[in-house]
Amino acid sequence: MKRTLALCTAIPEKQLEEIKKYCDITICGELKHGRGNVTEEQTRNECIGHEMVVLGDEVAGYETVKMWHEAGMKFIGCAKGTPVTVDAAALEEFGYEMSYTPGRNAVAVAEFTIGLMIASTRNITLSSTGLQKGEHLGPPVDDIYDVPDVKNVIWGPLDENHPFTDYGIGFELYGRTLGIAGYGAIGKQVAIRALALGMEVIAYDPYCPVEQIESDGVTSVSLDDLLVRSDILSLHLPVLPSTKGIVNREWFSKMKPTAYLINTARAAVIDQRDFIEALESETIAGAAIDVFWQEPIPANHPLLKMRNVTLTPHMAGLTVDVDNWSGRMMGDEVLAYLRGEPRKYIWKTSR
């Protein structure tokens, strides 16, 4: 009897051709129906009965994993960096070592994080939005291409109505201290880029060896040192029972009043009420946030009206390149399993 694979996420064609030498492939889930168009029940029914199931963003709760297990599933993979969409308790109960794709979007998120750092500290979003709303503009002209011969083109007198005084001019990243909370694949990539910008980089991660952090030119520090010293604090923490709401009033009270918080990880690591209070009271200077406690963010959320906050709609990890990196990693995992070789990327459910 030929082996079978239920495939819900893209794998590069070259690897697919090699996989087809070992098994039949059935396209399922979002790979078949499109992103966001699949229910858990639909995924469960399409994938049941296959020896191997490879998921993307599809949800597989306890009952789904249990049913797949009872129907003979031997291998499960999830092409995500933090595969919380698959029930960890079921994986442990039924003895699965799930393949995943750590760091698949590390470069994408790291570049975006640097972008948010610059956008927030230099008020780029605030000033751009202000101009588009009609703030600080000159009167209409008959011909925009009829440009006066002025050698020093400036935005007018620096007074209380000037954009520099309204939006603020911000500070340079060069020479400032970036604190990284969580030195995993993404935290490391952010650190490398920040060092290239001339920043001092410090990191706190009790689970990462000090020598591993410091081999990158980053200083390993205690949590208190991280909070007290950082001009910018960038979060790269997974959502675990130990990290949920960990970024709270105690953290904010130790941070500089001039500090900015950047979050491209998960909103649940921040205590929402304490965060809003810290921003409203100017306990910290500002923030840039790509992730929210509910998505889409509710239209009446107070963050939407704050001038010291830069917001983006959970897009840090999305580029046209990410699926390719993820697919290649998962393709390697599937081939290793089919060949009876050790796999490289096994999700640790107990954390």
Q: Which residues are catalytic?
A: 266, 295, 314
CB burial readout 75-99, b (16+ within 10 A) else e: bbbbbbbebeebbbebbeeeebebb
Please give the Cα distance from 200 to 179 (Å, whole number).
Answer: 9
